[in-house]
Amino acid sequence: AGFRPGDRPSREAGDISTAMGLHPDRETDPVLLDRLRGMQRRLGPEVRKRQAALVRRDGYADLGRIACPSLVVACRQDRLRSFAETERMAQCLPNSTFSIMEDCGHMAPLEKPKELAALLTGWIERTGL
């Protein structure tokens, strides 16, 4: 299973586990942490509390009803969603492509924006969307 609140305190990350979303080599990166903290400030403490308290039901069974092409991206060093969870999601989607980003945590758009954009662009071109 992936990271659960309380598993490990975040470093220099504020109230929620900001640093846990990043690749271990980037969890103290001041630029990334500043961006994440800015996002948290804009959302406010109530949103963070609601997100932390969410209990999500298992939605894997519903994924089989999604017929459109889907891209599922797993980040190898994601500590918030396990690789197995992401792989299972792709297996449950009938028309999915499963891609892996190496050396990346949960925050791929912030950590590796160019690599993620290239992955998305290539997938869109291959699927003809």
Would you state the CATH architecture of domain 60-127? 3-Layer(aba) Sandwich (3.40)
Task: Give me the pLDDT at residue 54, please.
Answer: 67
Q: Determine what percent of the chain is predicted with pLDDT higher than 70.
A: 80
Look-up: residue for tokens 């900001």?
Answer: 18
Instruction: Please say if the pLDDT value at position 1 is more than 80.
Output: no
The CATH 3.40.50.11320 portion of the chain extends over 60-127
Q: What is the pLDDT of residues 17-50, one digit of tens each?
A: 566 778 878 878 888 888 888 887 888 888 777 7
Task: Give me the pLDDT at residue 21, please.
Answer: 78
pTM: 0.70
- Please state, in angstroms and rounded to a whole number, the distance separating the CA atoms of residues 105 and 26: 9
DSSP string, the chain: ----TTSSPPSS--SS-TGGGS-GGGTT-HHHHHHHHHHHHHH-HHHHHHHHH------HHHHTT--S-EEEEEETT-SSS-HHHHHHHHHHSTTEEEEEESS--S-HHHHSHHHHHHHHHHHHHHHT-
